[in-house]
Amino acid sequence: MKKSDLFPLVFVDVALFSIVSDCLRVLLVRRAQDPNRRGWALPGGILKPEMDADLKSAATRVLRTKISVEVPHLEEVRTFSGVDRDPRGWSISVLFCALLPYDKVNALVKDKVEALEWAAADNPGHRMAFDHGEQLAVALHMLRDRVRVTRPVLPLHLMPERFTLTALQKTCEAILGKEIDKAAFRRRLKDSTDLVELPGELQRGSHAPAQLFRARDGFEFAV
């Protein structure tokens, strides 16, 4: 009788999203060990009760130790459980959704894992290990819902510290996978307390200068 017949294995997995060239991407890692060695998967790891204060802390630790990244936002999506989803035995994976500002994407150290890839979120292009394909789909669905159905909720955790309204709109479009009307988008944001205008700070280029904004202090994506 395996231990996991009495105690389930508990994992945390993270769907870490960011924006690369105006496209929503998710971070995939290539597994270095069996089971599913060399298979593509969401970054994750086993819960260590002696180290982790709770499941969210475990997810934070996994991101920090495995791919050396600190994320500003981490939120539970749901669990995946059962006897069949992992060959090691009865297991639970608690899935988290994380957002990384797109100016931090290149900060990932590439030598810690044998392979990292920022895959297109809606079409990663790899068959994925375990049930991580479903996990990705569920996390993506939650992210889209956040931006769509509860309308004033903004994906500010994906933005760099200072950003223009156009950049924010591009990010929302990348998440939703469709274009948004500029006037309507800006009209909704007029009354948002989550955005703070930075007076005098403009982004220049070969066009009219654009007002820069930052996220309100203490802004949280959560509902």
Partner DNA sequence: AGAATAGTGTCTGTCAGACAGTATCGC
Partner DNA sequence: GCGATACTGTCTGACAGACACTATTCT
- Which residues lie near its own copies (CB under 8 A)? 3-8, 10, 47, 49-50, 53-56, 76, 78-79, 81-83, 89-90, 92, 94, 145, 149-150, 223
Interacting residue with DNA among 20, 166, 173, 219 (CB under 7 A): 166
* Distance of alpha carbon 21 from alpha carbon 180, whole angstroms: 18
- Find out whether the peptide bond into 35 is cis, omega within 30 degrees of 0: yes
Helix (H) or strand (E) holding 11: strand 9-20
Partner that binds at residue 5, options its own copies, DNA, none, CB closer than 5 to 8 Å by kind: its own copies
**Span interacting with DNA, options 3-11, 58-66, 139-147, 161-169, rule CB under 7 A:** 161-169
By CB under 7 A, tell whether 194 contacts DNA. Answer: no
By CB under 7 A, tell whether 150 contacts DNA. Answer: no
Instruction: Please answer whether residues 51 and 39 qualify as being in contact, where contact means their C-beta atoms are separated by less than 8 angstroms.
Output: no
Interacting residue with DNA among 125, 206, 222, 223 (CB under 7 A): 206
Partner that binds at residue 54, options its own copies, DNA, none, CB closer than 5 to 8 Å by kind: its own copies
Name the H helices within the chain.
55-67, 132-148, 165-176, 182-189
**Span interacting with DNA, options 34-42, 68-76, 89-97, 205-213, rule CB under 7 A:** 205-213
By beta-carbon proximity to its own copies, the closer residue of 10 and 165 is 10
Single-letter code of the amino acid located at 33: Q
